[in-house]
Structure 1
Amino acid sequence: MADIKVPVFSESVSEGTLLTWHKQPGEAVKRGDVLAEIETDKVVLEVTAQADGVLQSVAKNEGDTVLSEEVLGVMGDAGSAPVAAPAAKATEEETSGPIPDEKSAGGTAVQPDSTGNQPAAERREDLSPAVRKVVAENNLDSTQIPATGPRGNITKQDAVVAAQGGSTDQGPQKAAAPASTPSAKPAQPAPSATIPSGPRTEQRVPMTRIRARIAERLKDVQNTAALLTTFNEVNMQPSMDLRKKYQDQFVAKHGVKLGFMSLFVRAATEALKAFPLVNASIDGKDIVYHGFYDIGIAVASDRGLVVPILRDTDSMGLATIEKEIAAYAGKARSGKLTMEDMSGGTFSITNGGTFGSMMSTPIINAPQSAILGMHNIIERPIAQNGQVVIAPMMYLALSYDHRIIDGKEAVLFLVMIKNLLEDPARMLLEL
């Protein structure tokens, strides 16, 4: 027998929430299999099997709060007999027989489906406390929630998806207001406001730990830093021409496409070298100047915004940057980012343009002092060499902490990025 323990959290994380069990008691597992997932306020951690064996029992249910190195369950040897169901439950099933389907005629018993999983009507008694809470708070019918658990059980994520408008029966809705009955009294003038008819539902879903932490950090920044944003615009035609001219050769040599983000990372790195205050941070009453360039790239994921860090970007080529960004994006989508991936950072870049944003004022990622916002590329008329021409233009935004960075440094920093992107040869030649 061996205990299954919660992974060791970092110093800044005190506890987590058990999201889901991927294995059930009595189920055989192999070394490296994911047993459970734990969500902290930064990342989702996977608890994996350290050896082949059988999951004997679990000590924590989905939705429970867990601490670092706390016991989650017990693993047995591969030859161990599966754990039997609790006696009380077995007795109840033997005496009462199969649970009838409430929606079938005559109370006919529902049999297991071809996959061996429990039918939806029988899952009503197989809900974890976390799932029961979501079901109760949102008035859901558990028999209508599609189950994705390993043994046909409903996970907390299944319930949350159903609560957010997934394919599920939302239960009884509010009845429409009854029509007014005729009255002998003189007719009153109709109200000017239109009274909506039909169901008007509301859903209440608790914040995930990651979302709650994001909200807390962003609000702390607004309360602490003296935030200011300066804007500029960049003609992206030279960078687009460069990418178009060398894209095929770049892909053939490096196996990855040349994107705009790598150009922005390189331009930001050169600008950080020229303006060290933008790369610095405040620690109490001290200014900490960083002699390295670790740039965070904001990535949207299903669990919220995450900012993995590119380390030592001054020593990276465009191909290395593109590969690192692609790897981080894949890890973010699959929930594989680690705390180390997102720790540190001296500057950040966020690209709202991928979603169509034309202009925004991004919030800095504390304790950093500045963040660069990229936006949508739109063809607009501009004056060029005394003539009006159509060019692919992008608005840039630099939000910065005015406590440490003056307006002069911020504006010149953004102008340097603009100039490098409008003449990328200067950036590649380090001019």
Structure 2
Amino acid sequence: MTIEVRVPTLGESVTEATVATWFKKPGDAVAVDEMLCELETDKVTVEVPAPAAGVLGEIVAAEGETVGVDALLATLNEGEGAAAAPAAAAAPAAEAPAAAPAAGGASVDVMVPTLGESVTEATVSTWFKKVGDAVAQDEMLCELETDKVSVEVPAPASGVLTEIVAVEGSTVDATAKLAVISAGEGAAAAAPAPQAAPAAAPAPAAAPAKDVADAPSARKLMAEKGIDPAAVQGSGRDGRVMKEDVLKALANPADKPAAPAAPRAPVPAEDAAREERIKMTRLRQTIARRLKDAQNTAAILTTYNEVDMTETMALRSQYKDEFEKRHGVRLGFMSFFTKACCAALKEVPEVNAEIDGDSIVYKNFVHMGIAAGTPQGLVVPVIRDADRMSFAEIEAAIAEKGKRARDGKLSMAEMQGGTFTISNGGVYGSLMSSPILNPPQSGILGMHKIQQRPMVINGEIVARPMMYLALSYDHRIVDGKGAVTFLVKVKEALEDPRRLLMDL
């Protein structure tokens, strides 16, 4: 049976791509979901997995060709002969299962699942099973950690875990083999005696050398601009230089590698014995890099105001019980702030815009990022088209995404595309702070603790629930007047929430 391999959906408004690299050639055996080739669009790199196990037949679109959405890339021959081919031709022979499968069973490779667009590698965080354990289909075997999210790897079949190829702490690419399961009749009963601890598995190999050519569009652009390929840091598989890498090098010609951190001062032995050293997670490393990049790239400035929360708190207190009965979700303050920000962004659209080269891109929609603290670090899930949502829809979306963020279940797509961000440091007791931008966004609102403070109202000193607001913005695109106007609009909406209902 012949199966067609076609161009997948490339993303909103993206209609074509360039075939960057083929990882397989005609006649090669491939496993289901094994990467066949890589496509390159104007903005991202898209990997094309095999839709089924079989043998690659004809390659229709060669490297360097431009193809449209749903165009035919190749054909795949599926059938008895194909099924007998090795499940993962790319795996070295040394990775064969250490223990023979149980009689009547078969060896099933556990591969790295799809990690998300543009994510090419992950770190093996935790194994929940050890060699010799019986596993059920879809039972969690291990957890992988990428730059953004944690990915659980389920068992593809029932059987016995006979080999762990990628031990905890090792870095694997998107097509790597993680383990081997002996599946089939009697597999569970024929569990071999546990082998040496997983640590005895072969140590992860060093990162492979760059043996795949740079993307065709990257080579063309480097030739046109006279750029030495060795001077461009590649972000593709095996260090391959992609078009966006060349564009970044052109935009920052003076960039130099960051100087290594200064070594620590000597630590007394009695102090060193009481220290604990833990390697930074990939998520924490990414957070650190992005925050520093934001400071290096944008002209960040912060302006402050304060809001009297009396009316918003009264409205919430009056309707929260009825709201929860009607909509099945609690009424919090975040929906008020989200609504207030959406209204203010319409008045000051540059706060909802971004810089792209020498252009300003204005967004006629609001994809609201809501910063959420998790045990792994800060993540920012995005609520799309928040400006079109009701209070109940916003509260439901925030609750659902917040829970999944804490559980490490957010996908990459759910944390991309935000146009503005709200960060609530008040839940931790913060009274005042200056939030850092979430690039390429031009604005972020910082909420803080509500605290009773003496205020002069109609000539009298009264206690009022006050909150400091902070707007950090990119001064390259947002002027001081626009930033102050934005905060005043948010303040007015919260001090008289009826304005939100009347679109004022």
TM-score higher than 0.5: yes
Match of 1:359 among 427, 432, 436: 432
- The match for 1:66 among 166, 172, 180 is 172
Give distance in 1, aligned partners of 2:109 and 2:116: 21
Q: 1:44 aligns with which of 115, 135, 150?
A: 150
Distance 2:314 2:159 in 1: 57
The answer for the alignment partner of 2:113 in structure 1 is 7
Change (3 A) 1:382 1:55: same
Alpha carbons of structure 1 residues 129 and 253: separation in structure 2 relative to 1, 3 Å: farther
The 1:320–1:129 alpha-carbon spacing in structure 2 relative to 1, beyond 3 Å, is farther
Matched letter for residue 331 of structure 1: R
Give 1:48 deviation, angstroms. 1.3
What displacement does 1:13 show? 2.5
What is residue 252 of structure 1 aligned with on the other side? Answer: 325
* Count, aligned residues: 330
SS in structure 1 at match of 2:113: coil
Q: Is the 8 A contact 1:57 1:83 kept in 2?
A: no
Q: Which residue of structure 1 lines up, in the alignment, with residue 353 of structure 2?
A: 280
- Residue 56 of structure 1 and its aligned partner are, at CA, apart by 2.7
Q: How far apart, in 2, do the equivalents of 1:271 and 1:71 lie?
A: 50
**Offset at residue 222 of structure 1 (A):** 0.4
Separation of aligned partners in 2, 1:285 and 1:322? 37
Q: Equivalences for 1:232-247 in 2 at 5 Å?
A: 232-247=305-320
What's the C-alpha RMSD, in Å, of the aligned pairs?
2.1
Q: Is the 8 A contact 1:25 1:82 kept in 2?
A: no
Name which of structure 1's ranges 292-301 and 46-55 shifts more when overlaid on structure 2.
Answer: 46-55
Q: Deviations over 1:252-310 (max 9, x none)?
A: 11122110011101111111122111111111111111122101111001100010011
Structure 1 equivalent of residue 381 of structure 2: 308
Mean alpha-carbon deviation: is it higher for 52-61 or for 32-41?
52-61
Deviations 1:220-257 (A, max 9, x none): 00011000000000000000000011011011111221
Q: Would the alpha carbon gap of residues 237 and 61 (structure 1) be closer, same or farther in structure 2, given more than 3 Å must change?
A: same
Residues 1:335 and 2:444 are matched in the alignment: no
Q: Is the 8 A contact 1:63 1:129 kept in 2?
A: no
Per the alignment, residue 396 of structure 2 pairs with: 323
Q: Secondary structure at the match of 2:445?
A: strand
Q: TM-score, normalised by structure 2?
A: 0.63
Q: Quote how far apart the aligned CAs of 1:315 are.
A: 1.6
Pick from 136, 141, 145: which aligns with 1:35? Answer: 141
C-alpha distance in structure 1 between counterparts of 2:426 and 2:273, whole Å: 34
Quote the residue 1:21 is aligned against.
Answer: 127
- CA displacement, residues 120-162 of structure 1 (integer Å, 9 cap, x when unaligned): xxxxxx47489x9xxxxxxxxxxxxxxxxxxxxxxxxxxxxxx
Residues of 2 paired with 1:34 and 1:200: CA distance? Answer: 37
SS of the aligned residue for 2:467 comes to strand
Aligned to 1:180: none
Q: Is the 8 A contact 1:33 1:49 kept in 2?
A: yes
The match for 1:423 among 472, 476, 496 is 496
Residues 72-95 of structure 1: per-residue CA shift (max 9 Å, x gap): 112232432323444xx6xxxxxx
Larger RCO: 1 or 2 (CA < 8 Å, sep 6+):
1
Return structure 1 stretches of 4+ with deviation > 6 angstroms.
none
Q: Is the 8 A contact 1:373 1:397 kept in 2?
A: yes
Partner Cα separation in structure 1 for residue 158 and residue 497 of structure 2: 54
Alignment TM-score, normalising by the size of structure 1: 0.73
1:82 to 178, 191, 196: 191
Following the alignment from structure 1 to structure 2, what is the Cα–Cα distance between the partners of residues 67 and 200?
A: 36
Q: In 1, are the aligned partners of 2:115 and 2:151 still within 8 Å (CA)?
A: no
1:14-56 alpha-carbon deviations (Å, 9 max, x no partner): 3211001112223222232211111111111111123333323
Letter of the aligned partner of 1:33 in structure 2? Answer: E
* Contact kept in structure 2, 1:27 and 1:82, CA below 8 Å: yes
> How many angstroms apart in 2 are the aligned matches of 1:253 and 1:50?
42
Write the mapping of 1:31-430 to structure 2, written as runs, cut at 5 A.
Answer: 31-79=137-185, 80=187, 81-86=190-195, 126=197, 128=199, 201-430=274-503
Q: Is the 8 A contact 1:31 1:50 kept in 2?
A: yes
Q: What stretches of structure 1 of length at least 5 have no aligned partner? A: 90-125, 133-172, 176-197
SS in 1 for 2:325: helix
Task: Report the secondary structure of 2:483's partner residue.
Answer: helix
Deviates more, 1:406-415 or 1:51-60: 51-60
User: What SS does the aligned partner of 1:337 have?
Assistant: coil
- CA contact 2:117–2:412 (8 Å) conserved in 1: no
Q: State the SS of the aligned residue for 1:379.
A: strand
Amino acid at match of 1:400: Y
Answer yes or no: is the 8 Å Cα contact 1:54–1:78 preserved in 2: no
Q: Write the deviation string for residues 86-120 of structure 1: whole angstroms up to 9, x where unpaired.
A: 4xx6xxxxxxxxxxxxxxxxxxxxxxxxxxxxxxx
SS of the equivalent of 2:317 reads helix
Q: Is the partner of 2:161 in helix, strand or coil?
A: strand
Question: Contact conserved, 2:404 with 2:410, CA < 8 A, in 1?
Answer: yes
Q: Please tell me whether the aligned partners of residues 18 and 63 of structure 1 are also in contact (alpha carbons under 8 angstroms).
A: yes
The amino acid that maps onto 1:34 is M
Are the equivalent residues in 2 in contact too, given 1:28–1:78 (CA < 8 A)? no
Question: Residue 283 of structure 1 aligns to which amino acid in structure 2?
Answer: D
**Structure with greater strand percent:** 2
- 8 Å contact from structure 1 (residues 18, 62) kept in 2: yes
Hey, which of these two has a bigger chunk of helix by percent?
A: 1
Taking only the aligned residue pairs, the percentage that are identical comes to: 52
Shift of 1:404: 0.7
Amino acid at match of 1:51: A
For 1:78 and 1:382, the matched residues in 2 are separated by 74
Q: What is the distance in 2 between the residues matched to 1:128 and 1:330?
A: 34
